[in-house]
Amino acid sequence: MINALPPATVLILGALPLLFLKGKAKGTWMLLLPILSFINLMALPEGSHWTFGFLNFEITLAKVDRLSLIFGYIFHIVAFIAALYALHVDDRIQNISGTIYAGAALGVTFAGDMFTLFVFWELLTISATFLVLSRRTKQAIGAGSRYFMVHVAGGLCLLAGIIIHVQTTGSAAFGYIGLESFASYLIFIGVGVNCAWPFMHSWLVDSYPEATITGTIYLSAFTTKTAVYFLTRAYPGTEALIWIGVGMAGFPIFYAVIENDLRRVLAYSLINQVGFMMVGIGIGTHLAINGAVAHAFNDILFKGLLFMTMGAVMYRTGKIRATDLGGLYKSMPWTCTFCIVGAASISAFPLFSGFVSKSMVMEAASHGDLRFVWFVLLFASAGVFHHAGIKIPFFAFFSHDSGIRCKEAPKHMLLAMGIAASLCIFIGCFPQFLYAHLPFATDYDPYSASHVISQTQLLFFSALAFTLLLLGGIYPAEMRSTNIDFDWTYRKGSRWLYKACGQLFDSINAFGDRVFMQELPKALARFVQDPAASIQKHGARLLSESTGDEGPLARRLAEAEYRTKNSAYPVGGGVFLAVIFLGVLSLFYMLF
């Protein structure tokens, strides 16, 4: 018997008191929740817990193993850091949705069956949407609605896959799936939406920069990383993931170079980093999986840190576009320092966290003799240094002096950034503490002389290129602009679809109106005004057409007109019709 609760419950149920707590009590409770939740997780031994039957399937609320544990650890760490960073936020919608969002991520991570997983998966979408919406600007409400619709579509795809998968295999257990059946493809794509694969990525760069300052810290940590966790468990060694990862590592860096909104630059760089994880999962060797998981762990910290520094800049200056910023190192020296630590970590400088995890994926690619993949990843490594490592700190804190003088970030924000920055350096210097918790045992040593030298050369000369291009005036000047991406298809495309549908249905409507509401009743009205004459005239016309004799037509028409007007039908005609009618009637009577 264990005395713990299922891992997700502490945060999700713990969000309820936030409805009525106020001021300091609320802040303390928000900080306490991740700690309580972590203690609860520590009380859980490895294995499956809370298993019970539901219909014909087995539900497992918590399955604890090395893979779920390491994601559990980092989710708790970042939940605490994000809560600390958001200590000043007095908005219940954000407080509650942030806490539930972190709880939902834990729910997915420890779900032992597909049904539990799906419930928490949807809870992730709902709570994340509120983090975007609660910025309450026109852009945020638009981006939040689009976020919701894209993720609901992805969730339905996942649900369809889960139902077919459970039906065919007869088991609801969540474990290795592999890309084989139709159902496995549906699940794969449904998860891919959350993972921001190419062409499904635009929700991320659309919504994260529009979310609230503190909401983005939560967002950057959970949605994509739970999807990474899902793929690590269900699709390790799936070759398609290598190519998806290559695409993700490659294309966003070009966008990041020309993007003006610095939080959007970070959103593109997030996709780029998840690309490294995809390649690692796709390669599927122990080293590669370890690399993917370690990189997810580090990315949550350094990407969160970078988003926090940009958030602090936004909080103090109200601006986030590179064109509006610059020279802030004088006003915000600590934030600037933390930003540089984050930048060094994401660029994989030796002694910073990115160095000890990215290299595992690179090494796995070179051991697998994946030459093209290796080249793209190396290109992406240079590129990420270029846009996230140099561009972010340079345009925000150095570059030209924007004239902005503001206060340093508030203390709780500095503390949150400080914790994240210290962890980045600590993991970079003592990677064995991270390696000890990876899914597979490893004796990997990132600090070989060759590796340190080659990485330093790569980074120094990337920086040299930046410097020379900037001095030479070739570096693209930041401009206030929107860069269209794949979301164009549904943001502009939907308007065209709306217009096209409008035109199609409007024309059908107009046609129906003309034929059925106007011309047909008119013709009918004309006919029933004088039906007998109309029939006779029509008959006369047909007769003249068939015989080709136009002569008697006018006479016959006049006759028909005369007869009906004066009711001048011969009596014999009426008797003749009556006799025919009686004859037909008796014929029916005799036959049936």
Partner 1 sequence: MKRPIDIDEELRMFDKPENIKRLLIIFFIASTVVILIDLVYHRHTVFAWEDYFGFYAVFGFVACVVLVIVSKYILRPLTMRKEEYYDD
Pattern 207-246, partner 1, x by CB under 8 A: ----------------------------------------
CA nearest 40: which of 22, 62, 18, 24?
62
CA nearest 216: which of 390, 82, 385?
82
Q: How far is CA 284 from CA 239, 244, 277, 288, in A?
A: 9, 14, 11, 6
Q: In angstroms, what is the minimal distance from the CB of 254 to partner 1?
A: 5
Q: In angstroms, what is the minimal distance from the CB of 432 to partner 1?
A: 21
**Backbone torsions φ then ψ of 410, nearest 5 degrees:** -60, 160
Q: Does 386 participate in binding partner 1 (rule CB under 8 A)? A: yes
Residue type, 389: G
Which residue in the set 378, 406, 429, 557 belongs to the binding site for partner 1 (CB under 8 A)? Answer: 378
Stretch that binds partner 1, among 69-77, 102-110, 475-483, 566-574 (CB under 8 A): 475-483
Q: In angstroms, what is the minimal distance from the CB of 387 to partner 1?
A: 8
C-alpha–C-alpha distance, residues 74 and 301, integer Å: 8
Which tokens is 415 given? Answer: 């503390």
Q: Name every residue whose Cβ is closer than 8 Å to that of residue 524 and which is 6 or more positions away in sequence.
A: none
Q: 3-state class of 193 per DSSP? A: helix
Pattern 119-138, partner 1, x by CB under 8 A: -------------------x
Q: 3-state class of 17 per DSSP? A: helix
What DSSP assignment string belongs to 36-63? HHHHHHHTPPSEEEEEEEETTEEEEEEE
Residue type, 301: L
Q: Does 456 participate in binding partner 1 (rule CB under 8 A)? A: yes
Pattern 12-51, partner 1, x by CB under 8 A: ----------------------------------------
C-alpha–C-alpha distance, residues 158 and 119, integer Å: 11
Q: How far is CA 233 from CA 24, 303, 559, in A?
A: 40, 23, 92
Q: Does 458 participate in binding partner 1 (rule CB under 8 A)? A: yes
Q: Does 491 participate in binding partner 1 (rule CB under 8 A)? A: yes
Q: In angstroms, what is the minimal distance from the CB of 373 to partner 1?
A: 12
Contact 315, 328 (CB under 8 A): no
Instruction: Name the residue nearer to partner 1 (CB basis): 323 or 544.
Output: 323
Which residue in the set 50, 185, 243, 398 belongs to the binding site for partner 1 (CB under 8 A)? Answer: 398
Instruction: Name the residue nearer to partner 1 (CB basis): 111 or 279.
Output: 279
Stretch that binds partner 1, among 40-48, 218-226, 370-378, 423-431 (CB under 8 A): 370-378
Q: Does 485 participate in binding partner 1 (rule CB under 8 A)? A: yes
C-alpha–C-alpha distance, residues 311 and 298, integer Å: 19
Q: Does 492 participate in binding partner 1 (rule CB under 8 A)? A: yes
Contact 67, 233 (CB under 8 A): yes
Instruction: Name the residue nearer to partner 1 (CB basis): 51 or 399.
Output: 399
Q: In angstroms, what is the minimal distance from the CB of 314 to partner 1?
A: 17
Which tokens is 87 given? Answer: 């200590």
Q: In angstroms, what is the minimal distance from the CB of 253 to partner 1?
A: 6
With contacts defined by CB under 8 A, how many residues of the chain interact with partner 1? 55
Q: How far is CA 247 from CA 103, 242, 277, in A?
A: 31, 9, 12
Instruction: Name the residue nearer to partner 1 (CB basis): 492 or 538.
Output: 492
Which residues of the shown chain bind partner 1 in the complex (CB under 8 A)? Answer: 138, 142, 253-255, 257-258, 327, 329-330, 363, 366-367, 371, 374, 378-379, 382-383, 386, 398, 401, 403, 405, 448-450, 453-467, 469, 474-476, 479-485, 491-492
